[in-house]
């Protein structure tokens, strides 16, 4: 069975995103697999896996909104800003739930984050985490991110541990957010758990574990969990072809388009009789429709 679809995996702790891809290559018996939206090994949750022709969608399906559940501990600072790192400092904590709720309001909206040393961002060709492991610290870029949702779910004054829900743009460092929160509260803070519950339009309730995926494959029910490619392309308008146009489209022929309702350079989802064929771009100047990605299953 040829697979050209997306699978929502609930990534387990301790696995890199590449580990998941490597395992699925064996389970699905195909080499053409990728993922959208990397998760650190300590993180769990939604990891969209792209299989077959769906790998062509990597630059398109990753929307600009992710949602996480993050657990934190006040009074602790580590070199990685999370519990996997080396403890550097501790501090007294005299913080109430209301203090945290008030402090969180500052981060709603757009803000700049400094890329942490323990990250895969490259400076002069070297990944920052490699420099950090050598004890080197360099000047890092700042990234503009957007926090659109930030809620405190609970906080225990005895353990100094709490949980927040974060809705943010792609590229946001939740551990940096927690570190900054600690500073604003007059103490240190580190992230102790992270679970991504929404990514690329996939909710964690729609995902399967690696074990569940294997079971589904063994039972011959893989189709039940596949997500069709056009599900992720809803923002693009539809364009229907007749049979003659379909045959030309599948051979890469540029088609005439006279419909003035479309905008120049607009991307369209192309269909024939309800079957998704791929993406095309409108060239209104020349009244042409040019194929961008052929995605027919």
Number of alpha carbons in the 13 Å side-chain half-sphere of residue 204: 14
Helix (H) or strand (E) holding 59: helix 58-61
In this structure, the strands spanning 44-51 and 237-240 are: unpaired
Number of alpha carbons in the 13 Å side-chain half-sphere of residue 98: 0
40 is catalytic: yes
Q: Classify the C-alpha dihedral 268-272-273-274 as positive or negative.
A: negative
Which of 19, 40, 71, 79 is labelled catalytic? 40
Q: What dihedral angle (degrees, nearest 10) is formed by the CA atoms of 184, 189, 190, 191?
A: -70
150 and 66 Cβ atoms separated by less than 8 Å: no
| CA neighbor of 230 nearest in space, from 283, 291, 271 | 271
Distance CA 15, CA 255 (A): 46
Helix (H) or strand (E) holding 114: strand 109-114
Q: Which residues are catalytic?
A: 40
């Amino acid at each position: 069975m040829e697979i050209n679809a997306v699978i929502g995996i609930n990534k387990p702790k301790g696995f890199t995103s590449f580990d998941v891809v490597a395992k699925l290559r064996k389970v699905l018996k195909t080499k053409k697999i990728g993922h959208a939206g990397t998760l650190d090994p300590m993180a769990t949750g939604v990891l969209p896996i792209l299989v077959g022709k769906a790998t062509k969608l990597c630059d398109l399906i990753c929307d600009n909104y992710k949602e996480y559940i993050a657990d934190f501990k006040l009074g602790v600072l580590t070199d990685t800003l999370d519990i996997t790192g080396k403890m550097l400092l501790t501090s007294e904590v005299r913080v109430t739930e209301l203090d945290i709720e008030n402090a969180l309001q500052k981060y709603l909206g757009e803000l700049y984050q400094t890329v942490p040393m323990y990250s895969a961002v490259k400076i002069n060709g070297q990944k920052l985490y490699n420099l950090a492991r050598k004890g080197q610290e360099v000047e890092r870029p700042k990234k503009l991110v957007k926090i659109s949702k930030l809620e405190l779910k609970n906080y225990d004054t005895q353990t100094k541990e709490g949980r927040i829900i974060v809705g943010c743009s792609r590229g946001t460092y939740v551990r940096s957010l927690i570190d900054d929160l600690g500073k604003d509260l007059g103490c240190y803070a580190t992230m102790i758990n992270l679970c991504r519950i929404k990514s690329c339009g996939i909710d964690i309730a729609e995902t399967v574990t690696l074990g569940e995926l294997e079971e589904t494959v063994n039972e011959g029910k893989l189709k039940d969990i596949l997500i069709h490619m056009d599900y992720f392309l809803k923002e693009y308008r539809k364009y229907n072809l007749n049979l003659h146009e379909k045959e030309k489209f599948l051979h890469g022929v540029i088609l005439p388009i006279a419909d003035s309702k479309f905008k120049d350079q607009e991307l369209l989802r192309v269909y024939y009789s309800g079957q998704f064929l791929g993406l095309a771009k409108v060239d209104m100047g020349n009244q042409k429709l040019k194929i961008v990605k052929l995605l027919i299953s």
